[in-house]
Amino acid sequence: MFSLSFYATLVGSSSSSCSFPCSSSKTTIFNKTTPPTTNTTISTTSTSATSKHVWTRRIPHPPFSNTNKQQQQQQRHTRTQQQQKQQSPYMDRSVDMNELLTSIAQTQNIEQLYSILSPYNGRQLSIRFMISILSREPDWQRSLAILDWMNEIAQYSPSLNVYNVVIRNVLRAKQWQLAHGLFDEMLQKGLSPDKYTYSTLITHFSKQGLFDSSFFWLQQMERDNVSGDLVLYSNLIELSRKLCDYSKAISIFNALKGSGNIVPDLIACNMMISVYGKAKLFREARLLLQEMRDNGVNPSTASYSTLLAIYVDNQKFVEAVSLFSEMNEVECPIDLTTCNIMIDVYGQLQMIKEADCFFWGMRKMGIEPNVVSYNTVLRVYGEAGLFGEAVHLFSLMQMKGVPQNVVTYNTMISIYGKSLEHDKATNLIQEMQSRGIQPNAITYSTIISIWEKAGKLDRAAMLFHKLRTSGVKIDEILYQTMIVAYQKAGLVAHAKRLLNELKQPDNVSRETAITILARAGKVDEAMWVFRQAFDAGEVKDISVFGCIIDIFSRERKYAHVVEVFEKMREVGHFPDSNVIALVLNAFGKLRKFERADALYKQMYEEGCVFPDEVHFQMLGLYGARMDFNMVESLFEKLDSHPNINKKELHFVVANIYERADRFNDASRIMNRMNHKAIRSHGNA
pLDDT in tens, 155-190: 888 999 999 999 999 999 989 888 999 999 989 989
User: Which is more confidently placed, 679 or 348?
Assistant: 348
Per-residue pLDDT at 130 exceeds 80: yes
Task: Look at residue 42 and give its three-state secondary structure.
Answer: strand
The reported pLDDT for the residue numbered 527 is: 75
Per-residue pLDDT at 307 exceeds 90: yes
Quickly state the pLDDT bin for 538 (edges 50, 70, 90).
low
The reported pLDDT for the residue numbered 17 is: 41
The reported pLDDT for the residue numbered 163 is: 92
- Give the highest mean pLDDT range of 40-54, 177-191, 498-512, 631-645: 177-191
- Between 111-115, 417-421, 582-586, 655-659, the lowest mean confidence (pLDDT) is in 417-421
User: Which is more confidently placed, 528 or 561?
Assistant: 561
The reported pLDDT for the residue numbered 574 is: 66
Residue 220: count other Cβ atoms within 10 Å of its Cβ. 19
The DSSP element (H or E) to which 249 belongs, if any, is helix 246-258
Longest dimension (CA), the chain: 94
Per-residue pLDDT at 344 exceeds 70: yes
Per-residue pLDDT at 609 exceeds 90: no
Contact 561, 553 (CB under 8 A): yes
Per-residue pLDDT at 513 exceeds 50: yes
Cis peptide before 60 (omega within 30 of 0): no
Segment 659-667 shows an average pLDDT of 87
**DSSP structure class, residue 573:** P
Q: What span, in angstroms and rounded, lies between the C-alpha atoms of 78 and 612?
A: 58
**DSSP structure class, residue 78:** H
User: Which is more confidently placed, 39 or 436?
Assistant: 436
Radius of gyration of the chain (CA): 32
Phi, psi of 553 (to 5 degrees): -65, -40
Q: What span, in angstroms and rounded, lies between the C-alpha atoms of 296 and 291?
A: 9
Per-residue pLDDT at 371 exceeds 50: yes
User: Which is more confidently placed, 324 or 519?
Assistant: 324
Per-residue pLDDT at 246 exceeds 60: yes
Per-residue pLDDT at 127 exceeds 60: yes
The reported pLDDT for the residue numbered 170 is: 92
Contact 26, 43 (CB under 8 A): yes
Q: At what angle do helices 441-453 and 406-418 cross, to 10 degrees?
A: 10
Give, in order, the Cα–Cα distances in Å from 482 to each of 7, 441, 448, 491, 502: 58, 12, 7, 11, 13
Segment 382-402 shows an average pLDDT of 87
Segment 585-612 shows an average pLDDT of 80
The reported pLDDT for the residue numbered 36 is: 39
409-456 pLDDT tens trace? 888 888 888 888 877 877 888 888 888 888 877 787 787 777 777 677
Q: What span, in angstroms and rounded, lies between the C-alpha atoms of 255 and 609?
A: 13
| 3-class secondary structure per residue, 394-453 | HHHHHHHCCCCCHHHHHHHHHHHHHCCCHHHHHHHHHHHHHCCCCCCHHHHHHHHHHHHH
Contact 339, 370 (CB under 8 A): no
Q: Tell which residue, 125, 127, 107, 123, has the closest CA to residue 115.
A: 107
Nearby residues of 312 by Cβ (< 8 Å), 6 or more positions away: 320, 341, 344, 345, 348
Per-residue pLDDT at 224 exceeds 90: no
The 8 Å CB, 24+ separation contacts for 114-119 are 114/149, 114/153, 117/146, 117/149, 117/153, 117/154
Q: What span, in angstroms and rounded, lies between the C-alpha atoms of 503 and 526?
A: 8
The reported pLDDT for the residue numbered 546 is: 76
The reported pLDDT for the residue numbered 472 is: 62
The reported pLDDT for the residue numbered 264 is: 87
Segment 260-277 shows an average pLDDT of 87
Segment 517-529 shows an average pLDDT of 66
The reported pLDDT for the residue numbered 43 is: 31
Per-residue pLDDT at 608 exceeds 70: no
Q: Tell which residue, 121, 171, 108, 128, has the closest CA to residue 148.
A: 121
- Give the highest mean pLDDT range of 19-28, 103-112, 252-261, 491-500: 103-112
Per-residue pLDDT at 468 exceeds 80: no
- Between 184-188, 503-507, 657-661, the lowest mean confidence (pLDDT) is in 503-507
The reported pLDDT for the residue numbered 481 is: 67
Q: What span, in angstroms and rounded, lies between the C-alpha atoms of 428 and 440?
A: 13
Cα angle, residue 282 at apex, residues 280 and 286 outer, rounded to 5°: 155
Burial class (CB in 10 A: 0-12, 13-18, 19+), 95: middle
Task: Look at residue 108 and give its three-state secondary structure.
Answer: coil
Residue 527: count other Cβ atoms within 10 Å of its Cβ. 20
User: Which is more confidently placed, 54 or 529?
Assistant: 529
The reported pLDDT for the residue numbered 31 is: 38
The reported pLDDT for the residue numbered 42 is: 30
End-to-end C-alpha distance for the chain, whole angstroms: 72
Per-residue pLDDT at 504 exceeds 50: yes
Q: What span, in angstroms and rounded, lies between the C-alpha atoms of 450 and 460?
A: 9
For a pLDDT cut of 70, what percent of the chain falls above it?
73
Distance of CA 333 to the CA centre of its chain: 28
Q: Tell which residue, 257, 278, 291, has the closest CA to residue 577.
A: 278
Q: What span, in angstroms and rounded, lies between the C-alpha atoms of 386 and 85?
A: 87
pLDDT, the chain, mean: 76
Nearby residues of 483 by Cβ (< 8 Å), 6 or more positions away: 495, 498, 499, 516, 520
46-80 pLDDT tens trace? 322 323 333 232 333 333 344 454 555 555 555 55
Segment 581-594 shows an average pLDDT of 86
Segment 626-639 shows an average pLDDT of 87
Contact 648, 616 (CB under 8 A): yes
Quickly state the pLDDT bin for 304 (edges 50, 70, 90).
very high
User: Which is more confidently placed, 33 or 332?
Assistant: 332
Q: Would you list the domain boundaries of the chain?
A: 4-192, 611-684
User: Which is more confidently placed, 228 or 141?
Assistant: 141
Q: What span, in angstroms and rounded, lies between the C-alpha atoms of 252 and 236?
A: 7
Per-residue pLDDT at 341 exceeds 50: yes
The reported pLDDT for the residue numbered 91 is: 74
One-letter amino acid for residue 195 of the chain: K
For a pLDDT cut of 90, what percent of the chain falls above it?
11
Give one DSSP letter per residue of 590-610, joined into a string: TT-HHHHHHHHHHHHHTTPPP
The reported pLDDT for the residue numbered 28 is: 31
Q: Please state the pTM of the whole predicted model.
A: 0.58
One-letter amino acid for residue 28 of the chain: T
Q: What span, in angstroms and rounded, lies between the C-alpha atoms of 46 and 444?
A: 55
Per-residue pLDDT at 33 exceeds 70: no
Per-residue pLDDT at 305 exceeds 90: yes
Q: Tell which residue, 576, 652, 577, 579, has the closest CA to residue 621.
A: 652
Give, in order, the Cα–Cα distances in Å from 72 to each of 153, 189, 191: 23, 8, 8
Kindly report the length of the chain. 684
Quickly state the pLDDT bin for 671 (edges 50, 70, 90).
confident
Quickly state the pLDDT bin for 45 (edges 50, 70, 90).
very low
Per-residue pLDDT at 259 exceeds 50: yes
Quickly state the pLDDT bin for 343 (edges 50, 70, 90).
very high
**DSSP structure class, residue 154:** S
Segment 262-288 shows an average pLDDT of 88
The reported pLDDT for the residue numbered 62 is: 36
Per-residue pLDDT at 660 exceeds 50: yes
Q: Tell which residue, 498, 527, 531, 501, has the closest CA to residue 515.
A: 527
